[in-house]
Chains A and B, each alone.
Chain A
């Protein structure tokens, strides 16, 4: 059965309690003369009722204590010690610019030209990073405008994150020194940006997995890796960076990437 889309939307509005009196009356009038639509509406209401009968499950006992015990000690102790607002781990990072490393002159960057339009839903693919190699000259890289820089510091990993605007898109340069092997997970908004590939030390990337909205890999020691993301819209986007060690969060944060030509937030 195909529902008139106008009334299908009205049915949902009524079920969600956001329909106006006029809309409700309009739907009732339609249902009175369309038996199939009436049956459909009855099934939707029943579905809503069924979902409403599913009870919430209690979290495991001691959950709050478990969370508090696992808070990153460095920030917690620093904050408790100073009684001042904790330092912002991510953000404009303007004050950190002086600590930035310059992209090495003469360095040849490999830039992926892969397209992921075929990826969707819950698909994921394990990939050989070398398959993503392309070319970007050092001139292109050094000419890219630095828009964001911030530091990352935890017990397992230290380093900096720089983001530049280039013709290819956002260049997200991760300079990370990890104690042991860590998993790097970049989550992005597929409606607003697309993963293009890697540049620099592509052999540092192990176990690369790409999904519709995440890129993850493992690395160890001191590595510099640059991820290339292409904006899909003119409104900027966000990238969530997470570092995990032994399956536990070891640092990360959200990078607010401004649109081309706009200053960092």
Chain B
């Protein structure tokens, strides 16, 4: 995880008019933000647009960012909200289309993981966005309970409860699809 101090310095640079500092923040978080959006909405192009909006919104709102909080918690919150707002607008729940390239180690493993990725993504899309959010934050962005609580603005107890339910639901779906055998 990137040092929060580094992020704070970059934010100060942005506020002083250094656009390159913001570029560094985008470089640093684009993969996490894009993947969070992708897992939430299950569409490559839409995830790209959401990720772009997240950074634009972050840039616009940087002056109101409270540096006592971690920058990534703040921008992840924007990403989750943008994704959920997008889903509400589109009311989209259908499974993803197309294939996404991810870093793999070999052709056989790549094929197996791509297939697994499709099954997992389909299963994720069956969850309500509140449940999908906690799975994405915990398993794809590696957030702690405390961080998820800050990002989602709900108590840790709620985070744990949602994560527990989400895992139960996801487990049941994946079991039915034979992905947990």
Give me the interface of A with B, judged by CB distance under 8 Å.
8-9, 12, 16, 18, 43-44, 46-48, 50-60, 63-64, 66-68, 70-72, 75-76, 79-91, 121-124, 185, 187, 189, 191, 209, 211-214, 216, 238, 240, 242, 249, 251-254, 256
Complex: A48 Cα to B139 Cα, angstroms: 8
Main DSSP-derived SS at the B contact region: helix
Q: Which residue of B lies closest to A121 (CB)?
A: B128
Question: With A47-B174, A254-B61 given, is the CB distance from A57 to B35 under 8 Å?
Answer: yes
A59 touches B59 (CB 8 A): no
Given contacts A16-B138, A50-B179, A254-B61, contact A58 B56 (CB under 8 A): no
Residues of chain B having any CB pair with chain A under 8 Å: 15-17, 19, 22-23, 26-27, 30-31, 34-35, 38, 44, 48, 51-53, 55-57, 59-64, 81, 84-85, 87-89, 91, 93, 100-104, 113, 116-117, 120, 128-130, 135, 138-140, 144-145, 153-154, 160, 163-164, 167, 170-171, 174-175, 179-180
Collect the chain B residues with CB atoms within 8 Å of residue A8's CB.
164
A47-B171, A79-B17 in contact; A67/B116 too (CB < 8 A)? no
Q: A43-B171, A71-B59, A84-B17 are in contact. Are A212 and B52 (CB under 8 A)?
A: no
B31 near A58 with CB under 8 A, answer yes
Q: Are A56 and B128 within 8 A (Cβ)?
A: no
- Are A16 and B16 interface neighbours, CB within 8 A? no
Q: How far apart are B68's CB and chain A's nearest CB, in angstroms?
A: 13
Query: CB < 8 Å: which of A46, A59, A86 contacts B17?
Result: A86
B51 vs chain A, min Cβ distance (A):
7
Given the interface pairs A47-B180, A84-B16, the reply to whether A54 lies near B34 with Cβ below 8 Å is no
Contact of B52 (CB < 8 Å), options: A47, A57, A67, A72: A67
Complex contacts, A216 vs chain B, CB 8 Å:
89
Q: Is the CB of A187 within 8 A of B85?
A: yes
Q: How many residue pairs between the two chains, A and B, have CB atoms under 8 Å in the bound complex? A: 180
Show 28 A/B contacts (Cβ-Cβ < 8 Å), sorted by A: A12-B160, A16-B138, A47-B170, A51-B140, A54-B113, A54-B116, A56-B103, A57-B35, A59-B34, A59-B51, A63-B26, A63-B51, A64-B26, A67-B23, A75-B60, A79-B17, A81-B17, A85-B17, A85-B63, A91-B63, A121-B128, A121-B129, A121-B130, A122-B91, A185-B89, A209-B89, A212-B88, A214-B88
Could you tell me if B16 and A50 are in contact, using CB atoms closer than 8 angstroms? no
Q: Check B60 against A55 for contact (C-beta < 8 Å).
A: no
Contact A53 B163, beta carbon cutoff 8 Å: no
Q: Give 6 closest A-B pairs by Cβ, nearest first.
A: A55-B102, A79-B17, A211-B88, A88-B63, A51-B139, A59-B34
**A185 to chain B: closest residue by CB:** B85
A72 CA to B62 CA, complexed, in Å: 13
- Neighbouring A residues of B16 by C-beta, 8 Å: 79, 83-85
- Contacts A55-B117, A56-B103 hold; do A68 and B139 have CB atoms under 8 A apart? no
A57: which of B84, B100, B116 is its contact (CB, 8 Å)?
B100
Docked CA distance A18–B130 (Å): 22
Residue of B62, B104, B180 near A46 (CB, 8 A) is: B180
Residues of B contacting A72 in the complex (Cβ-Cβ under 8 angstroms): 56, 59-60
Residues of B within 8 A of A87 (CB): 63
Check B167 against A54 for contact (C-beta < 8 Å). Answer: no
Given known contacts A47-B171, A54-B140, is B89 in contact with A90 (CB within 8 Å)? Answer: no
B60 touches A252 (CB 8 A): yes
**A9 with B93: CB separation less than 8 A:** no
A43, A64, A88, A90: which contacts B180 (Cβ < 8 A)?
A43
Q: Closest CB-CB distance, B35 to chain A, in whole Å?
A: 5
